[in-house]
Amino acid sequence: MIHTLDLKFQGYPASIAAFLIETSEGPILIETGPHSTLSALEKEIVRVGFQLKEIQHVFLSHIHLDHAGAAWVLAQTGATIYLHPFGEAHLAHPEKLMASAKQIYQDQMDVLWGQMKPIPEAQLKPVTHLQAIRIGDTLIRALHTPGHAKHHIAWEIGDTIFTGDVAGVKIKDGPVVPPCPPPDINLEDWIESINLIIDRKPIAIYLTHYGRIEAIEDHMSQLKSVMHDWADWIKNYWDKGWTAEQLTPMFSKYTTEQLLTMGVDELGVKQYEAANPSWMSVAGLIRYWHKKSQ
């Protein structure tokens, strides 16, 4: 059984999820959310009939703070943390990761993300592409899916895939949009990863932002379309010499108008912005086009 755990990030429902899966050897967790939502995570775990300390296996899609920020707490209660090999050093020694984040978020760091403490290397288990881990009666297969981040994994369980950020952000009945934070957005890799997921023929995918999707090909087609739209919009202004500081308010207005046009209400716009801040996509896509130009 799959339980979607709503972490109510910044007080908004359906913004960040973790997923608890029941197995014959106890519950496993896919994603932890940020450390700042640890209390909500614990309450949600209790709501579905378990305790946090019962979770001894945690599977991370990638090491961004909204997906992996509370992993160290689960490690302290004995959990093994499964992740991409490129993410291992960052969770064993998170000082650089947190210092970089603090430069961006400054005095909002604790409110948004909380803390991140080192995880002992013995509890970090990097997994290769297509490697399978069996927990009791449940087989979890790793699908390396770069594009959003080079250290990204989608986790396949039977005919269901937990897609992290590679399948985008979709809040309730709103459109799907691509989260494009720096530093390693790569649209070519991302398209290949989307196609990989489609080729696996899942009957459902679960988005960390947010929830279950069954109309997968339509969802992925829209994601590709919006991804190219955003990238082309940024490139048009970047080619003309516009800076990130100039583009950020313009892009925020552009994406807000897109969402409103597609039927998203004002609360929904705030939920989308919490799950996928528009300024981060400006920074990520500018960096992508800069690399392409070199």
> What is the domain-level CATH number for residue 167?
3.60.15.10
Residue 262 within any structural domain of the chain: no
8 A C-beta contact, residue 39 and residue 10 = no
Residue 284 within any structural domain of the chain: no
Burial category of 56 from C-beta neighbours within 10 Å (exposed 0-12, middle 13-18, buried 19 and up): middle
Domain that holds residue 23: 2-229
Residue 55 within any structural domain of the chain: yes
- Count up the domains in the chain and report the number: 1
Strands ordered across the beta sheet of 80-83? 2-6, 17-23, 26-30, 57-59, 80-83, 124-126
Helix axes 216-238, 244-261, angle to 10 degrees: 150
Query: pLDDT at position 37, please?
Result: 97
Residue 237 within any structural domain of the chain: no
State both tokens at 223: 């994601």
Residue 278 within any structural domain of the chain: no
Residue 263 within any structural domain of the chain: no
Query: pLDDT at position 223, please?
Result: 98
Q: pLDDT tens string for the chain (294 positions)? A: 999 999 999 999 999 999 999 999 999 999 999 999 999 999 999 999 999 999 999 999 999 999 999 999 999 999 999 999 999 999 999 988 888 777 777 777 777 898 999 999 999 999 999 999 999 999 999 999 999 999 999 999 999 999 999 999 999 999 999 999 999 999 999 999 999 999 999 999 999 999 999 999 999 999 999 999 999 999 999 999 999 999 999 999 999 999 999 999 999 999 999 999 999 999 999 999 999 998
Query: pLDDT at position 109, please?
Result: 77
Residue 183 within any structural domain of the chain: yes
Query: CA-CA-CA-CA torsion for 66, 67, 70, 72, nearest 10 degrees?
Result: -130
Query: pLDDT at position 9, please?
Result: 95
Residue 235 within any structural domain of the chain: no
